[in-house]
Structure 1
Amino acid sequence: MKIVIIGAGEIGYDLASVLSAEKHDVTVLDRERGPLSRVTESLDVLTKEGNATSVKDLVDTGVSDADILICVTSVDEVNMMSGMIGKRLGAKMVIARVRSEEFSGEEAPLSPSDLGIDVMIHPELSAAQEIAHLLRRSSASDVINLADKKMQLIGIRLEANSPLNGVSLNEYADRFPDIVFRVVAIGRRGRTIIPNGSIKLQKYDQVFILAKTEHIPQVIKTTGKKETELHSVMIAGGSDMGAMIARLLCADQTKNWSIKLIEPDYELAEELAIELKEVMVLNGNPTDPDLLVTEGINEMDAFIAVTDDEESNIISCLMAKHLEVKKTVALVSKPDFIPLAQTIGLDAVINKKVAASNEIHRYVRRGKVISVTELRGIKAEVIELQATPGSKITKKPIKKLRLPDGCVIGGILCNGSVEIVTGASQVDDNDRVIIFCLPTAIDKVTKLFQ
C-alpha cells in the first residue's frame, strides 16, 4: 500500500516507523530538514523536503496515486489544507489530525467530508478519554473497551504478594470456574509472551486479561488487587490534555468528582477557572513538590501528570505514589520510558503517539478491521476483525485451526452476544473476533479473515 505522511514530527515519525516495518511503501514530507534527517537515518522510507500546502510539492511527493494520505503536522490548518489538496489530486483516503473543536466537534459548521477529509483524528482527546477510563478501574494499568464495550481487556501488574505468583494459567482457570476470562498476553522483564495454559505467572508480571465487562471486578479480585472508588483527582498541567481530562470528568454523570488542576501560565489558568466552574484551578508550577504537598496531594485518590516535561511527569507521579496516592498516571512520549515507568512503580502511562497510531491503523489494515490497539509496554496488539463470509477462519473450530505462532483468539461477538473463546468455539460468517498477536503474526492472521 502506498502511504504519504505529511509531517515528520513525533507522531509522523512513529507512524512511518510502524508502517514501514509492515512493508508499506511510505513517503514522508516535511519543510524542515532536521526532522527529515532523523527519518532518513533511522527508517527505510522515502523523504521529501517541501511545503505541505504546495500543489507542486504534493504532486512531487506522489500524493496523486497514494492509497492513504496522512496529515499530522502540528498545525490544524496545514493538515486540513494539505488534505483537501491531496483529495483533489487523487489520494484515495485522507486522514488528518485536527485538534480544534471548531472543526472536529459535533456542532462544527463544516464536516470532514466538506473538507475532503475521510477521517479526522484527535490523539490528545483519545488519550484523555483513556485516562478517564483508567480512573474508573483503580487497579488496572490498562483498560481497553472491546466488542461495543461488552468486553474489556485490563492490564494488571502482579505484586510480590499476589496469590497468582507461581500459578499456571490452567490452574488459574481451575481455581475460578465460575468466572469466564482469558489471559491473552504477559509482559515479563521486557519480553512479550503470548501464553499457553502451562505457563506460570511470576511476581511483577504485567498480565492482560480479557473478560465480559460485568465480570471485570471479579477478575481483578482474583489477582489480589482491590478495586477502590476514586473521587478526588489532582491534574498537573492545564494545557490541551489536562483541560480535556477535567472536562471529561466534569461531564461524568455517574460520579461527582473533586478536581484540582495546576497550571503555570496565569492567563490560561484564569481562562480555565472561568470555564470549569466545578474545578479548583491553581496557578503554579505543577512539578513543585512544596506546592503539591501544600495543596494536599497526599489526600488525593489519583494524580495525573500531563505536562510537556515527561521526566517531571514521572518524578511527580513517583512522589505521589510515595505519599500513598492510590492511582498515578503519567503522560510519556518516549517509547523507552513506557516499560521503565511501570517497572519503577507508576500505575499507568499514556502515550499520545500510540493513541494516534491506534486510530490510524484500522484504516491501513486490509480486510474488515474494526479496531487495532497497541498494548503499552509490550510488543503486542489487539485486533478486532470481522470474518468475511467463506473465509478460512470460519471453516473449522478454533482448536483445529492452524493459527500463526504468537497469536491467540480471545473473544467473539455474534448477533450482539459475546463469548470468551475456548478450543471448541466456532467463528461464523460476519462474526467479530478479538485477536491478540505479536507484530510478526499480524499479516498472517488478517489473511484468515479475507
Structure 2
Amino acid sequence: MKKKIVIAGAGEIGLDLAKVLTAEKHDVTIIERDDDAKKAARELNVRLVEGNATSSSKLREAGVAKADFMIAVTSDDGANMLASMAANKMGCGKVIGRIREMELSGGDCPLEASDLGMDVKIHPEEEAANEIVMLLKRTVASDIVEVADGSLQVIGIRLPGDAPVIGQTIRWFDEHHPEIDFNVIALNRKGNTLMAKGDHKLLKDDQLFALARNNDIAKLIETTGRKETNIDDILIAGGSGVGEMIIHKITSDPELSKRDWNIKLLEPNEDRANQLANRFPNVRVLHGEPTNPDILAVEGIGDMDAFLAVTDDEESNIISCLMAKHLGVQKTVALISKKEYIPISQTIGLDAAVNTKLAASNEIHRHVRGTTVKSITSLHGITADIIEMKVSAGSKVDGKAIKKVSFPGGAVVGAIWSGEASTAEIVTGNSIMKAGDQVMLFAQANYLDRLSDLFQGS
C-alpha cells in the first residue's frame, strides 16, 4: 500500500532511502537545507522542502501531521531528536530516528525511544558493527544475514579454483549433499547476479549465496573446499563509532568473550586514541594512519588473523585492507558507505565489505512495510534482496506447491514457516505455501510489486 513518508536529511542515508522508497511507489518528501544535498534530492522523484528539519513550519509544510512515517536521518543527533519530538506531537503515524552516539543508543542509555519522540531508534553504525562481528564468527564468509529470527542464515562464500564443486551444477551440488539442509539461492559472477537455477554450473571465483540452518553452515563451507579457522588476533583501524562498538561487542558477546583475544586498535586522532586506551585497558591502542605501511609492519600485521578498516574515510579503508591482505592477513573487512564501491571491493581482493547505508535501509525496511511484505534485506554486491512475505488467504500462492508457481524475474523461494520462526523449513519444489505462512524469497527489487500481487488476498 502506498504510504506518505517524510525524510529529514538528504545525506547518503536519506538519499538512498528516498531512492528505494520511491522505487516502491511511496510518496516521499525530503526536508533539507544544504545546497549540495538539495541539488542531489532534486534529481529524485520526491517533493523537496527547503529548510531545517527542526523547524515546525517546515515540518508542517512537509505534511508531517498526515504522514504515515517520518524518518529523521540527518547527521546531527540533536536535530534528529528535535524533529522526531515535533513530528510525534504533530500526529505523525510512526517516527523513526537515527542516533549515532553510543551514549544515546546503547543499552546503558536511560532514555527510551519514546522519550525522544521516536517509535524506533536506528543506529546504522551499530548494525554495521553487528555484521562485522558475525563475519568474525564465520571466517570464510563474505556476507552473513540472519533470517527467520536467526534460525537460518544466508551466507556468501567465494569459490576457490580447487573447490570440489567447480564445474558441477547447482542440482548436482544439492543431490550429492543430502546430509546438509541448504538451498543455493544466487551467484555473483564477475559482478553479475544470477538467480540460482539447477543447471547453473559453479565456476572459479563465483560468489555463492546459500541458505542453511545455523548448525549446517560449517558443513556447507567444507563442501566448497574452504576451511574455517578461529580469529584471535585482530587489528582494528578506526576507533570512532563502529570500531569502538566492535570492541564492546567482542568483549561482551557470550560466545566470543570466552576466547583469548589479542586486539589492537589504530586511531589517527591522538586525543581519541588516548580516550580509547583509558576505556579499553586490555586493548593495545596505537596512534597513527592505517595507510602507513611502516606502522602496519612494526605491529606485525602479517601475523594478525583479521584486519578491520572502519575509519570514516572509505578510500583509506579499501587501501589499508589491500595492504593488509598483501602482507598476509587472513581476513580483511572494509567499512564502505558508497554502494558503487561494493562491486569493486569484491574483485580487487577484499574478503568482505560492510555498508552503513545498507544497514540503515534494511533496518528501516523492517518498519516501512505492508501486511504482505514483512521485511527486505539487501546484500553486498548483488542486485537482489532477501524478502520475507506473508501468504494471505485466497492469494494466488495459497495452497500451491512452489514448483507450481511462476515467480517473476526468476525469484527463488528459500524457506517457509508458520507461527514461530524456529519452525522454518528450507523448501523443496514440493513445499506447500498456506495462508498465514511466512515465505523467504530471494528476488530483484524491481519485481516486488508483482511478487506482492501473488501473496495478497483477492
TM-score, normalized by the shorter chain, greater than 0.5: yes
Q: Deviation of residue 328 (structure 1)? A: 0.4
Q: Deviation of residue 388 (structure 1)? A: 3.8
Q: Deviation of residue 445 (structure 1)? A: 1.9
Partner of 2:443: 437
Alignment partner of 1:126 is 2:102 = no
Q: Please give the alpha-carbon distance, in whole angstroms, between the structure 1 residues aligned to 2:110 and 2:180.
A: 48
Report the residue type matching 2:437 in the other structure. D
Alignment partner of 1:163 is 2:192 = no
Partner of 1:249: 250
Q: Identify which range, 100-109 or 305-314, moves more after superposition.
A: 100-109
Partner of 1:401: 405
Q: Deviation of residue 369 (structure 1)? A: 4.3
Partner of 2:291: 287
Residues 359-374 of structure 1 correspond to what in structure 2 (within 5 A)? 359-374=363-378
Q: Please give the alpha-carbon distance, in whole angstroms, between the structure 1 residues aligned to 2:236 and 2:349.
A: 19
> Partner of 1:363: helix, strand, or coil?
coil
Alignment partner of 1:428 is 2:434 = yes
Does the CA contact (< 8 Å) of 2:400 and 2:434 recur in 1? no
State the aligned residue count: 449
Q: Identify which range, 234-243 or 91-100, moves more after superposition.
A: 91-100
Q: Please give the alpha-carbon distance, in whole angstroms, between the structure 1 residues aligned to 2:376 and 2:41.
A: 24
Residues 253-292 of structure 1 correspond to what in structure 2 (within 5 A)? 253-254=254-255, 255-292=259-296
So what's the TM-score if we normalise by structure 1? 0.96
Q: Unpaired runs of 5+ in structure 1?
A: none
> Partner of 1:226: helix, strand, or coil?
coil
Q: Identify which range, 345-354 or 389-398, moves more after superposition.
A: 389-398
Q: Please give the alpha-carbon distance, in whole angstroms, between the structure 2 residues aligned to 1:284 and 1:171.
A: 51
Does the CA contact (< 8 Å) of 1:186 and 1:205 recur in 2? yes
Counterpart among 319, 328, 334 of residue 330 in structure 1: 334
Does the CA contact (< 8 Å) of 2:236 and 2:263 recur in 1? yes
Q: Deviation of residue 25 (structure 1)? A: 1.4
Report the residue type matching 1:10 in the other structure. E
Q: Please give the alpha-carbon distance, in whole angstroms, between the structure 2 residues aligned to 1:418 and 1:256.
A: 35
Alignment partner of 1:9 is 2:15 = no
Q: Please give the alpha-carbon distance, in whole angstroms, between the structure 2 residues aligned to 1:256 and 1:446.
A: 48
> Partner of 1:405: helix, strand, or coil?
helix
So what's the TM-score if we normalise by structure 2? 0.94
Residues 109-188 of structure 1 correspond to what in structure 2 (within 5 A)? 109-188=110-189
Q: Please give the alpha-carbon distance, in whole angstroms, between the structure 2 residues aligned to 1:273 and 1:428.
A: 55
Does the CA contact (< 8 Å) of 2:416 and 2:438 recur in 1? yes
Q: Deviation of residue 193 (structure 1)? A: 1.3
> Partner of 1:346: helix, strand, or coil?
coil
Q: 1:195 to 1:142 in 2, by over 3 A?
A: same
Q: Deviation of residue 391 (structure 1)? A: 4.0
Does the CA contact (< 8 Å) of 1:370 and 1:385 recur in 2? yes
Residues 203-218 of structure 1 correspond to what in structure 2 (within 5 A)? 203-218=204-219
Does the CA contact (< 8 Å) of 2:186 and 2:208 recur in 1? yes
Q: Identify which range, 57-66 or 126-135, moves more after superposition.
A: 57-66
- Two-structure CA RMSD over aligned residues (Å): 1.6
Sequence identity (%): 50
Partner of 1:298: 302
Does the CA contact (< 8 Å) of 2:267 and 2:286 recur in 1? yes
Q: 1:251 to 1:106 in 2, by over 3 A?
A: closer
Partner of 1:223: 224
Q: 1:430 to 1:131 in 2, by over 3 A?
A: same
Q: Please give the alpha-carbon distance, in whole angstroms, between the structure 2 residues aligned to 1:49 and 1:19.
A: 20
Report the residue type matching 2:358 in the other structure. V
Does the CA contact (< 8 Å) of 1:33 and 1:49 recur in 2? no
